[in-house]
Structure 1
Amino acid sequence: MRYCIFISCLIISLSSWAQRKSTSAESTLQIPSKQSPTKKANLPSEKLSSTWAIGISTSTNSGIIGGLSLRKYWLNDEKSQSFAQLDADIIKDYREFTSPYSYNGRSYIEGKLNQLIVIRPAYGRRWTLLQKSAEGGPALKGVLSTGPSIGLQKPYYVDISYTNSATSQAYTLAVPYAKTLDDTYPKAFIIGDASFLKGFDALTPIPGWHVKTGLNLELESFKHNHLSIELGFCLDYFTKPIEMLNQTEGRGVYTTGYLTLFFGKSH
């Protein structure tokens, strides 16, 4: 009897031991063999074909915001790229000054006869002068472009206070500044600048040509965003002098220093 009990206990113990060994072997078989890490395949970098950018400019011949630019780069070469550009700028004469007389805080440009808006379609090239480092950072590039200049001469309008001598009734009118220099509105006085939109129905186109050159600092950006700052110089030549100020000889050549902030997207 004792022998049977001993045999039974031994069989149960061996069965338990065998089961544990079997489980341990299965676990060992499931552990993957250690392999040497595979080298990553050299995947080709994504190739960008073009960049669209919008620019906001200020210049020596304008106010704080002197114009807008639309530019497209063709990224066909690492060292140089072609681009097309369209500018719309306002050019002022360097001899302009604000009248010392004002009405209720409003002012106007003394003796200003015409305003000049310039549309410049252009083709150009951009060359890499200093490339971005391996860790990233800005790149310095040289820019040169040329194309036609379409000068739009627009009469400069001011608001005047005018009293009709026949009816003794006072009016506030927007008239070209040139009309205040003759007897069209006798005993009228100037209140201040009129709306910039006045005078577009009397635009006079004057053709010309321009050349622009500058340095473009392309900043580090996220993903495919484009951000750059451009500092340069522009020369405009027009086929006839543009009369900007009263009793001042008109000019056909205008030189401008400009600063433009570009932002856009690469594809």
Structure 2
Amino acid sequence: MRIPQIRIIRIFALSLLFSASALITKAQAQEEAHYSTEFVWGLTKATNSGLLGGFVFRYSQLVKGRQFQTFAAELVNIKHPNETREQLPQTGNSILVGKSNYLYDLRLQYGRDFIVFKKAQHKGVQINAIFAGGPSIGIVTPYYVDYNGQNGREKVPYTGNNMNFNNILGPGNLFQGVPDASIAPGLNAKAGLAFEFGAKNDLFVVETGVMYEYFFKEIEILLYQKKYQSYPNAYITISYGSRR
């Protein structure tokens, strides 16, 4: 399941990098940008995330011509490729089968944006090539379930050991495991294209691209499944913002 996905991401990455490099070469000879700073925030969805992947914040500052330096932060939830949800017949609630930990990921990124197609000042679409990377801070938190055991009904970490599946009543609270979290440091890098729409200085941005992320240790997300250190993905981000 993971191998075909990685192949698709690699093909997409090569196509994206080839297109972006050609566009950047063309853009360097064109007139400079008509603004100096930009701030956007939005939501992101990746091939290794849930329906809502996470949140994105990015600040851009003109360096020269059509080139901007960017500072960004992303907070996302990473899923295991074999993660599935199952409904419990005893309560109708659903849990993530075999899940032992959530992997929340804080990405800090520094990069470069290149305007490869400049829109008119008050209309049209602008296309930017985006390259960024930086440190990742993985926050590994235990997955809790509502369990009816020998001590009565309580919310406990799902370990699979000596737990009767029929006694699981549902999931615990989303951030219940945060006090027991451990940190997994890593690195990330991405390349993408951003399509900016908007009149005057208000922005609506659609960004799509590929990312590679590597943690310095294997991270357990599902019990009895392969632990991964690398997490390649393709992503799409919808964001709003303004420029000056």
| TM-score interval, normalised by the smaller of the two chains | 0.7 to 0.9
Aligned equivalents of 2:227 and 2:118: distance in 1? 44
Q: Which moved more, 1:245-254 or 1:135-144?
A: 135-144
In structure 2, the CA distance between the partners of 1:127 and 1:48, relative to structure 1 (3 Å rule), is: closer
Q: Does 1:209 align with 2:190?
A: no
Aligned equivalents of 1:137 and 1:209: distance in 2? 36
Q: Does 1:61 align with 2:48?
A: yes
Task: State the partner residue of 1:49.
Answer: 36
Q: Does 1:256 align with 2:239?
A: no
Deviation at 1:66, TM superposition (A): 0.8
Aligned equivalents of 1:186 and 1:111: distance in 2? 13
Aligned equivalents of 2:225 and 2:241: distance in 1? 42
- The higher radius of gyration belongs to 1
- Which of 142, 146, 150 lines up with 1:155 in the alignment? 142
Does the aligned pair in 1 maintain the 2:42–2:55 contact within 8 Å? yes
How far does the alpha carbon of each residue in 1:38-95 deviate from its partner, in whole angstroms, 9 at most, with x for none?
Answer: xxxxxxxx96331111121111112221110110010343422111001101000111
Does the aligned pair in 1 maintain the 2:123–2:199 contact within 8 Å? no
Aligned equivalents of 1:121 and 1:186: distance in 2? 41
Task: State the partner residue of 2:64.
Answer: 77
Aligned equivalents of 1:201 and 1:134: distance in 2? 49
- Which of 182, 188, 195 lines up with 2:161 in the alignment? 182
Equivalent residue runs for 1:67-106 within 5 Å: 67-99=54-86, 101-106=88-93
Aligned equivalents of 2:122 and 2:135: distance in 1? 41
How far does the alpha carbon of each residue in 1:111-159 deviate from its partner, in whole angstroms, 9 at most, with x for none?
Answer: 1111101111110111122222578300111101010111111111111
Gaps of 5+ in 1: 1-45, 165-170
* Higher relative contact order, structure no. (Cα contacts within 8 Å, ≥ 6 residues apart): 2
Aligned equivalents of 1:204 and 1:218: distance in 2? 38
Count of matched residue pairs:
212
TM-score by length of 2: 0.80
Identity, % of aligned pairs? 29
Q: Does 1:244 align with 2:231?
A: no
- Which of 220, 225, 245 lines up with 2:202 in the alignment? 225
How far does the alpha carbon of each residue in 1:184-242 deviate from its partner, in whole angstroms, 9 at most, with x for none?
Answer: x67971112111111101111011101011110011x2332122110111111010100
Task: State the partner residue of 1:117.
Answer: 104
Q: Runs in 1 of length 4+ with deviation above 4 angstroms?
A: 185-188
Aligned equivalents of 1:148 and 1:218: distance in 2? 26
Task: State the partner residue of 1:173.
Answer: 154
Does the aligned pair in 2 maintain the 1:87–1:121 contact within 8 Å? yes
Aligned equivalents of 1:199 and 1:112: distance in 2? 13
Aligned Cα root-mean-square deviation (Å): 2.1
